[in-house]
């Protein structure tokens, strides 16, 4: 199992999950600050106020990336750090400028995500993503970041997982801002599509011509009864793939949601704007999803990993249920099945030929074993990574144009509504002290990169 010499091996993080310094140097609250400080929203009352303190320990973290042999580092920018209440904050931007310079000095390509779920709170107060104006504010933000970093960034990613932003944030309410209005969720999805297109075009005006432009989607790999698969695929996948890749909104999505809305919030030209040219499509994959028609009488099964009693994020799919799949499972309760990654990459290759792909997140949370000597043994994570990297190679062998793989995550971090209870990192973080310890998986990943993708035995 070998990969091309220019294959992009990386690791990924997100600003609110690692930075901390929530009130320092001019940063103002995002929706995740508000959400995490609201009692009952996040497990154990955890917040991202300190997180892994990357804001102060970034040099140490970049040194670890270099020792791992990473060729790229995917990170996100805190909108409310660089544009607090809409005002440009040079101190906040300087943090990212210094980070980018250090990455380049170490030979690591900076892959910047503009939006990883942390909308400035004042924009949510004005209406959030269901409000069209938020898409235009995002384009303005993209311009300011592009002007500051555009001469040095390897790849620009407009949005990370807009499905989560729209449907977990505005339909099920398990993510910030915690709203449960299915129509607002559909409006949010559209304005995220619009924001992607506007920001993509804005960036191309101000960044280096050599930069690559992308978006990252958490596409659901669906299995089960055909009609249930079709309905969920429309609102989970094609609601973004259609507009962003030039096909517009699918007719069946509009029909499935007609009882909720007439989609009048989509204006002439919006779908064309959303179909901004992409140099690559980022794909986040963790596990497949099984679906079937619900008979309406028996207790309805909910999707793996979604909280019991929460409103459904799958708008327009009231007659669909999500049966629990066979194990083994990660600590998140997600089934482990690497074949779904191969199948998803091949679907994209088939349905959207000519669009290069990058696996921008893949990883697993497990309960690490720390022995008496401080060694962190995580053989299950190594097995998960090995099998999923092999699944990428299988997709490439079958014709898929896959250009890179990013492990999630570089560090243990604030895992959204799960707080600090779930650990995805290659590097363990002792939260009270911030101390970093390489897990066995970090050593394994380093050796794999050095060998060009040939997996070594577990340490």
d(CA 129, CA 265): 12
Two structure tokens written together for 235: 């609102």
Two structure tokens written together for 291: 């679906």
CA 417 to chain centre: 15
d(CA 77, CA 210): 21
d(CA 455, CA 1): 8
Determine how β-strand 289-293 pairs with β-strand 320-321. Answer: antiparallel
Determine how β-strand 222-224 pairs with β-strand 289-293. Answer: parallel
d(CA 271, CA 267): 8
Which residue among 102, 124, 271, 361 is the active-site one?
Answer: 361
d(CA 240, CA 220): 12
Phi, psi for residue 143 in degrees, rounded to 5: -60, -45
Q: How many CA atoms lie within 13 A of 66 on its CB side?
A: 12
Phi, psi for residue 147 in degrees, rounded to 5: -65, -35
Two structure tokens written together for 265: 């919030």
CA 358 to chain centre: 12
Determine how β-strand 212-217 pairs with β-strand 222-224. Answer: unpaired
d(CA 418, CA 332): 9
End-to-end distance of the chain based on CA atoms, in angstroms? 19
DSSP letters for 218-255: ----EEE-HHHHHHHHIIIIIHHHHHHTTS-S-HHHHH
Q: Is 161 a catalytic residue?
A: yes
Q: Which residue has the tokens 């924001």?
A: 195
Q: How far is CA 88 from CA 27, 147, 158, 429, in A?
A: 11, 12, 19, 32
Which residue among 124, 161, 321, 415 is the active-site one?
Answer: 161
Q: Identify which of 446, 417, 367 has the alpha carbon closest to the alpha carbon of residue 43.
A: 417
d(CA 316, CA 258): 9
Helix ranges (H only) for 270-417 are 270-274, 339-351, 379-397
Q: How far is CA 149 from CA 145, 203, 204, 210, in A?
A: 6, 11, 13, 13
Q: Is 205 a catalytic residue?
A: no
User: Which residues does the annotation mark as catalytic?
Assistant: 161, 361
């Amino acid at each position: 199992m070998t990969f091309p010499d220019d294959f992009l091996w990386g690791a990924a993080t997100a600003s609110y999950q690692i930075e901390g310094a929530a009130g320092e140097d001019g940063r103002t609250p995002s929706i995740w600050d508000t959400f995490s400080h609201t009692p009952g929203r996040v497990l154990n009352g955890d917040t991202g106020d300190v997180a892994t303190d990357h804001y102060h320990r970034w040099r140490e973290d970049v040194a670890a990336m270099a020792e791992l042999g990473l060729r790229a580092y995917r990170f996100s920018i805190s909108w409310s750090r660089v544009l607090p209440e809409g005002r440009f904050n040079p101190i906040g931007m300087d943090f990212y400028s210094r980070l980018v310079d250090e990455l380049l000095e170490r030979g690591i390509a900076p892959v910047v995500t503009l939006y990883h779920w942390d909308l400035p709170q004042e924009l949510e107060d004005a209406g959030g993503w269901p409000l069209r104006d938020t898409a235009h504010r995002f384009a303005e933000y993209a311009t300011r970041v592009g002007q500051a970093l555009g001469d040095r960034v390897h790849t620009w990613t407009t949005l990370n997982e807009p499905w989560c932003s729209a449907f977990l944030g505005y339909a099920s309410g398990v993510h910030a801002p915690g709203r449960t209005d299915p129509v607002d969720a559909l409006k949010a999805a559209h304005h995220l599509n619009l924001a992607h297109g506007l920001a993509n075009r804005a960036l191309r005006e101000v960044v280096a011509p050599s930069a690559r432009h992308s978006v990252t989607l958490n596409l659901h790999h669906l299995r089960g009864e055909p009609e249930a698969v079709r309905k969920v695929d429309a609102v989970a996948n094609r609601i973004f793939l259609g507009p962003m890749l030039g096909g517009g909104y699918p007719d069946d999505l509009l029909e499935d949601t007609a009882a909720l809305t007439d989609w009048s919030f989509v204006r002439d030209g919006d779908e064309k704007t959303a179909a901004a040219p992409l140099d690559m499509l980022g794909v986040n994959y963790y596990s497949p999803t099984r679906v079937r028609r619900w008979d309406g009488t028996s207790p309805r099964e909910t999707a793996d990993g979604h909280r019991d009693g929460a409103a459904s994020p799958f708008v327009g799919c009231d007659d669909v249920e999500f049966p629990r799949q066979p194990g083994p499972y990660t600590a998140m309760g997600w089934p482990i099945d690497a074949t779904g990654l191969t199948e998803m990459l091949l679907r994209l290759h088939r349905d959207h030929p000519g669009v290069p792909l990058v696996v921008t997140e893949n990883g697993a949370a497990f309960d690490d074993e720390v022995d008496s000597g401080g060694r962190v043994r995580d053989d299950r994570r190594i097995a998960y990574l090995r099998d999923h990297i092999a699944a990428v190679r299988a997709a490439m062998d079958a014709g898929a144009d896959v250009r890179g793989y990013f492990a999630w995550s570089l560090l243990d971090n604030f895992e959204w509504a799960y707080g600090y209870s779930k650990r995805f990192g290659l590097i363990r973080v002792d939260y009270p002290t911030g101390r970093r310890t390489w897990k066995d998986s970090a050593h394994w990943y380093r050796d794999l990169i050095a060998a060009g993708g040939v997996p070594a035995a577990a340490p």
